Structure 1
Amino acid sequence: MIDLNNWENFIPELSQKEVEIPHFDRASLRETGQRNPVWIHFGGGNLYRGFHAEIAQCLADQGELPTGVIVCETFDEEIIEKAYLVFDDLVLEVVMPSSGKFIKRVLAATADSLYCHPDCSEHFAKMIGHFENPSLQLVTFAITEKGYRLKDTSNKYIGPIAVDIKNGPKKPSHTMSILAALLYRRFLSGAWPIALVSTDNFSQNGSQLRTSLLAIAKEWQKEGYVPEIFIQYLSNEEIVAFPWTMIDRITPNPSISVSRMLAEEGFLNMSILQTAKGTNIAPFVNTEDIHYLIMEDHFPNGRPRFEKAGVFLTDRATVDKADTMKVTTCLNPLHTALAIMGCLLGYRSIAEEMKDPDLSLLVSEIGYNEGPPVVESPGIIDPKTFLEEVVTVRFSNPNIPDMPQRIATDTSQKVAIRYGETIKKYMEIENKDPQTLVFIPLILAAWLRYLIGLDDQGKPFTPSPDPLLVELQHRLSDIQLGTQDTSHIQEKIVPILSNKEIFGVDLYQAEIGRKIEGMFIKMLAGPNAVRKTLQNYLQEHGRTL
Structure 2
Amino acid sequence: MTARPARLRNATLDALPAAVARPAYDRDRTSIGIVHLGAGAFHRAHQAAYLDELLAVDPDWAICAVSLHSTAVRDALRPQDGLYTLVRIGERETLRVIGAIRELLCARDEGAAVLARLANPDTRLVTLTVTEKGYCLGADGLDFDHPDIAHDLATPDAPRSAIGYVVAGLARRRAAGIAPYTVLSCDNLADNGGRLRRAALQYAERVEPGLAQWIEAEVAFPRSMVDSITPATDDALRARVTAQLGCTDAWPVQREPYMQWVVEDRFCNGRPPLERAGVTLSGDIAGHDRAKLRLLNAPHSALAYLGSLMGIETVADAMRAPALAAFVETLMRADIAPNLAAPAGFDARTYIDAILARFRNPAIRHLLSQIAWDGSQKLPVRLLGTIADALAAGRPIDRLCLPVAGWLRFVVRQARAGTALVDPLDEPLTAIGRAATGEARRDVDAFLALDAVFAPLSADPRFVDALRAAYAALGDAGPAAIAAALERATQGARR
TM-score when scaled to structure 1? 0.70
Does the residue aligned with 1:135 lie in a helix, a strand or coil? coil
Given the superposition, is the C-alpha separation of residues 200 and 357 from structure 1 closer, same or farther in structure 2, using an over 3 Å criterion?
farther
Q: Secondary structure at the match of 1:241?
A: coil
Mapped pair 1:245 → 2:200:
no
Structure 1 residue 218 and structure 2 residue 202: aligned? yes
Q: Does 1:68 align with 2:38?
A: no
Name the SS for the 1:131 alignment partner: helix
Cα distance in 2 for residues equivalent to 1:264 and 1:68: 28
Matched, 1:394 2:358: yes
The equivalent position to 1:77 in structure 2, one of 70, 79, 94, is 70
Q: CA RMSD in A?
A: 4.7
Deviation readout 1:243-289 (Å, 9 max, x if unpaired): 3334443434447775554355465667xxxxxxxxxxx82222233
CA distance in 2, matches of 1:27, 1:411: 50
Shift of 1:360: 0.9
Question: How many residue pairs were aligned?
Answer: 482
> CA separation of 1:344/1:71 partners in 2, compared to 1, >3 Å: closer, same or farther?
farther
1:279 corresponds to which residue?
Answer: none
Query: Residues 111 and 421 (structure 1 numbering): CA distance in 2 closer, same or farther, change over 3 Å?
Result: farther
> In the alignment, does 2:325 pair up with 1:360?
yes
Query: Do the aligned residues in 1 keep the contact of 2:196 with 2:221 (CA within 8 Å)?
Result: no
The corresponding residue for 1:324 is 290
**Structure 1 Cα separation of the partners of residues 460 and 160 of structure 2:** 35
Asked whether 1:127 is paired with 2:114, we answer yes
Correspondence for 1:57: 52
1:197 counterpart letter in structure 2: L
Deviation at 1:195, TM superposition (A): 2.2
Instruction: Spell out, residue by residue over 1:218-267, the C-alpha distance to the aligned partner (whole angstroms, 9 max, x if none).
Output: 3774xxx244444434444xx22233334443434447775554355465
Asked if structure 2 preserves the Cα contact closer than 8 Å seen for 1:347 and 1:353, the reply is yes
Q: How far apart in 1 are the matches of 2:364 and 2:180? A: 40
Q: How far 1:103 sits from its partner (Å)?
A: 2.3
1:20 aligns with 2:21: yes
User: 1:273 is matched with which residue?
Assistant: none
| Alignment pair present for 1:94 and 2:92 | no
Name the CA shift for 1:542/1:179 in 2 (closer, same or farther; >3 Å). farther
User: In structure 2, what is the equivalent of residue 111 of structure 1?
Assistant: 102
8 Å CA contact retained: 2:24, 2:56:
yes
Q: 1:287 maps to which residue? A: 255
1:422 corresponds to: 386
Distance change (3 Å), C-alpha of 1:372 and 1:108? same
d(CA) in 1 for partners of 2:338, 2:453: 24
- Mapped contact 1:243–1:316 kept (Cα < 8 A): no
Q: What amino acid is the match of 2:213?
A: Q
Distance 2:14 2:27 in 1: 15
Deviation (angstroms), 1:20: 1.6
**Matches for 1:507-518 after TM superposition, within 5 Å:** 507-508=457-458
Q: Which digits, 9 at most, give the CA deviation of each residue in 1:40-80, with x for residues without a partner?
A: 23443333222212122222344x23452122445x73763
Query: In structure 2, the residue corresponding to 1:331 is in which secondary structure?
Result: helix
Q: How does 1:258-277 map to 2 (within 5 A)?
A: 258=237, 261-262=240-241, 264-265=243-244
* Rg comparison, structure with higher value: 2
Aligned residue in 1 for 2:36: 41
Q: 1:512, 1:259 → 2: CA distance? A: 55
> What's the counterpart of residue 279 of structure 2?
311
Flag the 1:134–1:8 CA change in 2: closer, same or farther, 3 A.
closer
Partners in 1 of 2:386 and 2:136 — Cα distance?
21
Q: Equivalent residue for 2:163?
A: 180
Aligned to 2:182: 195
Q: 1:278 corresponds to which residue?
A: none
Q: 1:157 to 1:295 in 2, by over 3 A?
A: closer
Q: d(CA) in 1 for partners of 2:71 and 2:465? A: 45
1:141 has 2:97 as partner? no
The CA distance in 2 between the partners of 1:86 and 1:452, in whole Å, is 54
Asked if structure 2 preserves the Cα contact closer than 8 Å seen for 1:246 and 1:293, the reply is yes
**Alignment partners' CA distance in 2, 1:345 and 1:82:** 46
Q: 1:170 aligns with which of 150, 153, 156?
A: 153
Equivalence for 1:232: 213
Q: 2: CA distance between counterparts of 1:378 and 1:7?
A: 42
Q: 1:126 to 1:10 in 2, by over 3 A?
A: closer
Q: Show the counterpart of 2:493.
A: 544
Q: Would the aligned equivalents of 1:85 and 1:113 in 2 still touch at CA under 8 Å? A: yes
User: In 2 relative to 1, CA 414–43 (structure 1 residues): closer, same or farther, beyond 3 Å?
Assistant: farther
User: Could you tell me which amino acid in structure 2 is paired with residue 135 of structure 1?
Assistant: D
Distance 2:82 2:36 in 1: 13
Task: Give secondary structure in 2 for the equivalent of 1:15.
Answer: coil
**CA distance in structure 2 between the aligned counterparts of 1:65 and 1:359, rounded to whole angstroms:** 47
Change (3 A) 1:379 1:522: same
- 1:287-323 deviation line (CA, Å, top 9, x unaligned): 233444333322110122223323344x404x55445
Q: Compare 182-191 and 446-455 and name the one that shifted more.
A: 446-455
Distance 1:324 1:251 in 2: 22
Q: Using a 3 Å threshold, how does the CA distance of structure 1 residues 85 and 480 change in structure 2: closer, same or farther?
A: farther
Q: TM-score, normalised by structure 2?
A: 0.76
CA distance in 1, matches of 2:141, 2:261: 32
CA distance in 2, matches of 1:493, 1:215: 37
Deviation at 1:107, TM superposition (A): 1.1
Looking at structure 2, the residues matched to 61 and 138 of structure 1 have their Cα atoms a distance apart, in angstroms, of 18
Distance 1:67 1:518, change over 3 A: same
1:363, CA displacement in angstroms?
1.7
Counterparts in 2 of 1:345 and 1:307: CA distance versus 1, 3 Å: same
CA distance in 1, matches of 2:136, 2:463: 25
What does the per-residue CA deviation read over 1:389-416, in whole Å, with 9 as the maximum and x for residues that have no partner? 322x332233445444665677777555
Is the partner of 1:394 in helix, strand or coil? helix
Contact 2:51 2:62 in 1 (8 A): yes
C-alpha distance in 2 between matches for 1:544 and 1:226 = 60
Map Cα deviations across residues 139-158 of structure 1 (whole Å, 9 max, x no partner): 2334556766945xxx6789
Q: For 2:136 and 2:479, locate their aligned partners in 1 and report how far apart those are by CA, in whole Å.
A: 32
User: Displacement of 1:137 after TM fit?
Assistant: 1.8
CA contact (8 A) 1:340 1:447 kept: yes
* One-letter identity of the residue aligned with 1:111: R
Question: Is contact 1:350-1:395 (8 Å) kept?
Answer: yes
CA distance in 2, matches of 1:496, 1:79: 42
Displacement of 1:447 in angstroms is 5.1
- In the alignment, which residue of structure 1 is the partner of 2:11? 8
Q: CA deviation at 1:19?
A: 0.9
